């Protein structure tokens, strides 16, 4: 019985920190919006890359941009959407930006 209890305590000690830290690396929508509205080339490059990562996760039936769409345009679209819809700034950036892009360029 003592071995089972000790094993359980060790498992809790080992796994709880991993569980609580797992979301530390996710970017919040608010933080994305804060950094992606800075006029600094490093942040501009980050935001363009982030948008590209989101685009790469979308299928060709979820996101259908027109031929004039650029990453800079898409960052501006997301920025404008978040500015108009402040409640959308709560939560994880990736899924929110993904939804904004799908809404902005739906496939017909």
Whether the full predicted model's pTM is greater than 0.85, yes or no, is no
Task: Write the pLDDT tens digit of every residue in 39-94.
Answer: 899 999 999 999 999 999 999 999 999 999 999 999 999 999 999 998 988 999 99
- Residue 62 to residue 89: CA distance in whole angstroms: 22
Question: Where do runs of H (alpha helix) occur along 22-70?
Answer: 29-35, 41-57
pLDDT grade, residue 25 (50/70/90)? confident
Q: Is 28 helix (H, G, I), strand (E, B) or coil?
A: strand
What residues does 28 pair with on adjacent strands? 92
> Would you state the pLDDT for residue 108?
84
> Would you state the pLDDT for residue 23?
57
What residues does 92 pair with on adjacent strands? 28
55 burial type by CB count under 10 A (0-12 exposed, 13-18 middle, 19+ buried): middle
């Amino acid at each position: 019985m003592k071995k089972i209890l000790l094993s359980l305590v060790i498992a809790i000690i080992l796994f709880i920190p991993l569980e609580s830290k797992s979301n530390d690396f996710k970017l919040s929508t608010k933080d994305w919006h804060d950094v992606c509205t800075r006029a600094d080339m490093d942040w501009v490059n980050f935001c363009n890359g982030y948008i590209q990562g989101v685009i790469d996760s979308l299928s060709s039936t979820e996101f259908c941009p027109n031929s004039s769409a650029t990453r800079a345009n898409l960052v501006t679209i997301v920025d404008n959407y978040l500015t108009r819809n402040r409640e959308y700034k709560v939560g994880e950036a990736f899924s929110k930006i993904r939804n904004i892009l799908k809404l902005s360029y739906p496939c017909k």
